[in-house]
Structure 1
């Protein structure tokens, strides 16, 4: 009987010892996890590798991450500025092309207006034919010398 009781006591002691070691390990891990979480919160919620947690080398990681973040922000700004500059350059080129076309159109209108004014001021048909010829226009048969007579003769025949 005594051996059975001693066996029970030794088993109970072993179980208590194991439970105690489990509780100690659990408390240690809880404190360790809360410590690491505090560090993680202090360092901007970054994800750390096992070695960085083990050796607590969070500063180097933070510096690398911050430098990468600054680089990405700078690249985003540069891309935005390039896009804006490209858009403005396209708009300016389009505006310049439109302005050139309008200048050509206005020049043509001025030339046509000058020709029309010159033609409307000339009343004599002979002079009108000369003016039209000097402008490079096709002179109608009626304005040519003797053109009207030929036309009347053709009608009479």
Structure 2
């Protein structure tokens, strides 16, 4: 089973991601994915403030499942963290390239989770091939 994320980015920089298990969403366009996510009314709730300094957050996100980490992207507190700073720059750039989002987000997520004591386990590559039975190994090699 393979697992990746599909990111859908709005022109204002807001985005969401959808689990793409076994490539099931590979043939779905970004426009079709965007229709699955209703527009939320940002005016309905006040902007979130950084829990560390009170500055308005650029982004707030739940960390990976069961970690109970609330991730905050604060332009004041996170300016010295390399992955966060790169993400802040992308987020503020009106000419941002949506194709950069997956790498920037995942680097920020990794950096933030590391600061909370978590480490990302690398995804396994292809499953290992089954070993050759010993009776099929050429002589002198087994």
Structure number having the greater helix percentage: 1
Highest CA radius of gyration, 1 or 2?
1
TM-score, structure 2 as length reference = 0.18
TM-score, structure 1 as length reference = 0.17
